[in-house]
Amino acid sequence: MPHHLLTPRRLLWPLATLIALGLLVWTLRPAPARVNTVAVEHAPFVDSVNEEGRTRLHDTWHVTAPITGYLRRVTLEVGDEVAQDQVLFRLEPSPAPALDARSREQAEDALQASRARLQAAEANLETARAERRFAEAEHQRYRRLHERDLVSTADLEHRESLRDRQRALERAAASSVEAARFEVESASAVLAVTSGQRSGTDQPMLEVSAPVAGVVLERFRCCEGTVEAGQPILEIGRLADMEILVDLLSMDAVRLAPGMEVRITGWGGTPLAGTVRRIEPAGFTRTSALGVDEQRVPVVIDFAEDTDPAGLGLGTGFRVEVEFLIWQGDDVLQVPTSALFRDDGRWAAYVVEDDHARLRHLEIGRQSGLVSQVLAGVEAGERIVTHPGDDLADGVAVTALD
């Protein structure tokens, strides 16, 4: 047998080497990527904005003291219902300060002086009355003489002038007596004040009534004491006028419109319906809990007409969660937002085909939280990778974990 022919023993080593190399290559080959997938499906879709809000009353009334005076105790408490024109509180004149010994002596002297002026005024009045009676009698006598042509017309007119002047002097004297009497009363009142205490029940009193029917929201003053004009005493409002105020991010506020429907949750009961009534034209800056300056816009929401928030236990200043329903559909093709990423300026996702990841560019419509609307690029039933990693690429073998 020629020496160059290979025997089975000589073929064993090359074959073993090939098998070992094959096993090494198979061992070192990359394993399929393990991914989570989800099926593309048609489902209800809601494009909404969620934000926290507070209830408030559309109108409130601050009832203040109209004048400076002494406030009687306010018996109304927060939550009490009041009727229109119901008396809320009463005011009486402030008590005068007490007099010291020197002031009392001065008040006694002033009283004596006012009494003396009263007596002098009364004496002047008697004199003026006598002068007036004499002037009238003289005028009557001259009038009769003038009728008989015994005195001239000039003399008669002179007597009429004297009569009129005496009548005026009498009226002036009567006014002086009246003024003197007031001075005596004033001096007597000053002298009567010795301890600064309030007067009895005959003191004149001002009653302040409710401008509208409602409930007491806040009581600023309850106890008796002196109050200044304009000082707030009570705040009242009508719970039927309740609304919701939401401070929304300006980028979300521009997507709203008056009349848009909202869902009210997080208040302690079943969801309630409402509508956007007004979007304020001016925003403001508010610092978030993370220290970021945010531009916020106030949005006012009305409850639905068939909803009685007060009857449900809601009051002013209550916290609620508001969902603004910008758009909604019952049968919308959608994918998880976590499955999307940007590729060459376009939205893309990995679709699993024959255990391999295939890059697809998608046309995305509306996005709302965890899901996004798909307009084109995938079909219902196809499975896409939900959280693609950096190691995933087009054509990579994958193993679905679900």
Q: What CATH number does the domain containing 225 carry?
A: 2.40.50.100
Residue 325 has pLDDT above 80, yes or no: yes
> Which pLDDT value is given to residue 1?
45
Mean pLDDT of the chain: 86
> Which pLDDT value is given to residue 144?
87
Beta carbons within 8 Å of 329's beta carbon, 6+ residues apart: 44, 45
Cβ neighbours of 124 (radius 10 Å): 18
Does residue 41 sit within a domain? Answer: no
> Do 395 and 338 belong to one domain?
yes
Structural domain boundaries enclosing 152: 101-192
% pLDDT > 70, the chain:
89
Mean pLDDT over 338-346 rounds to 89
Residue 169 has pLDDT above 70, yes or no: yes
Identify the H or E element spanning 155: helix 153-192
Alpha-carbon gap, residue 272 to 303, rounded angstroms: 8
Does residue 291 sit within a domain? Answer: yes
- Model confidence, pTM: 0.60
Identify the H or E element spanning 313: none
First CA to last CA distance, the chain: 64
- Write down how long the chain is: 402
> Which pLDDT value is given to residue 389?
82
Does residue 9 sit within a domain? Answer: no
- The least confident of 18-27, 62-71, 160-169 is 18-27
| Beta-bridge partners for 275 | 261, 302
What DSSP character marks residue 397?
Answer: B
Instruction: Calculate the CA 60 to chain-centre distance.
Output: 9
pLDDT tens digit sequence for 197-250: 555 556 678 899 999 999 999 999 988 888 999 999 999 999 989 999 999 999
> Do 226 and 360 belong to one domain?
no
- Comparing CA positions, the residue from 324, 337, 331, 323 lying closest to residue 366 is 337
> Do 186 and 82 belong to one domain?
no
Mean pLDDT over 245-274 rounds to 93
Mean pLDDT over 90-115 rounds to 78
> Which pLDDT value is given to residue 28?
55
> Do 329 and 364 belong to one domain?
yes
> Do 147 and 284 belong to one domain?
no
Alpha-carbon gap, residue 228 to 66, rounded angstroms: 8
> Do 365 and 277 belong to one domain?
yes
pLDDT class of 195 with cuts at 50, 70, 90: very low
Alpha-carbon gap, residue 81 to 310, rounded angstroms: 13
> Do 119 and 86 belong to one domain?
no
> Do 80 and 217 belong to one domain?
yes
Longest distance between any two alpha carbons in the chain, whole Å: 201
Residue with tokens 């024109």: 85
Does residue 175 sit within a domain? Answer: yes
Residue 196 has pLDDT above 70, yes or no: no
% pLDDT > 90, the chain:
40
Residue 155 has pLDDT above 90, yes or no: no
pLDDT tens digit sequence for 3-60: 455 556 666 667 767 776 766 655 555 667 778 888 999 999 988 889 999 999 999 9
Mean pLDDT over 267-287 rounds to 93
Mean pLDDT over 334-362 rounds to 89
Angle (nearest 5°) at CA 221 between 217 and 227:
135
Mean pLDDT over 181-203 rounds to 67
What DSSP character marks residue 373?
Answer: E
Mean pLDDT over 240-267 rounds to 93
DSSP assignments along 167-224, one per residue: HHHHHHHHHHHHHHHHHHHHHHHHHH-SS-----TTS--EEEE-SSSEEEEEES--S-
Residue 147 has pLDDT above 60, yes or no: yes
Angle (nearest 5°) at CA 324 between 319 and 330:
130
Alpha-carbon gap, residue 165 to 235, rounded angstroms: 61
Q: Provide the phi-psi class of 250: left if phi over 0, else alpha when psi is between -120 and 50, else beta.
A: alpha
Alpha-carbon gap, residue 178 to 132, rounded angstroms: 19
> Do 144 and 248 belong to one domain?
no
Q: How many domains does the chain divide into?
A: 3
> Which pLDDT value is given to residue 73?
92
